[in-house]
Amino acid sequence: MQEPPPAVHDANSDVDVKAPSFMQIAATHGTNAAYLRKHITDPEWPMRQQELDDYYLNDIIAYIESLAPKTKTKH
């Protein structure tokens, strides 16, 4: 398993900010493609804006969607 990247220091608020994992994003923010696209390309401060080709962005969104918590269906 790959180690997560180190936290980024935000000098404005003097705190270290740790990026969430893709699994955390899928579990807490859902897997709506439009929502993910907006928040990946134009995230909330202090996360940095990402400039990705549509090809890569679509792959990232598809991967996050695949991590959605599985819901149990009643029979």
Number of domains in the chain: 1
Query: Is position 50 within any domain?
Result: yes
The beta-strand segments (E) located in the chain are: 8-10, 15-17
Range of the domain at 40: 15-66
Q: Which residues contact 41 (CB under 8 A, 6 or more apart)?
A: 49, 50, 51, 52, 57
Question: What's the pTM value of the predicted model, to 2 decimals?
Answer: 0.67
pLDDT band at residue 54, thresholds of 50, 70 and 90?
A: very high
Query: Is position 10 within any domain?
Result: no
Query: Is position 57 within any domain?
Result: yes
Q: Which residues contact 48 (CB under 8 A, 6 or more apart)?
A: none
Does an H or E element contain 66, and which?
Answer: helix 54-66
Query: Is position 72 within any domain?
Result: no
Q: What 3-state DSSP class applies to 36?
A: helix
Query: Is position 39 within any domain?
Result: yes
Share the mean pLDDT of the chain: 80
Kindly state the average pLDDT of the residues 32-45: 84
pLDDT band at residue 2, thresholds of 50, 70 and 90?
A: low
Query: Is position 48 within any domain?
Result: yes
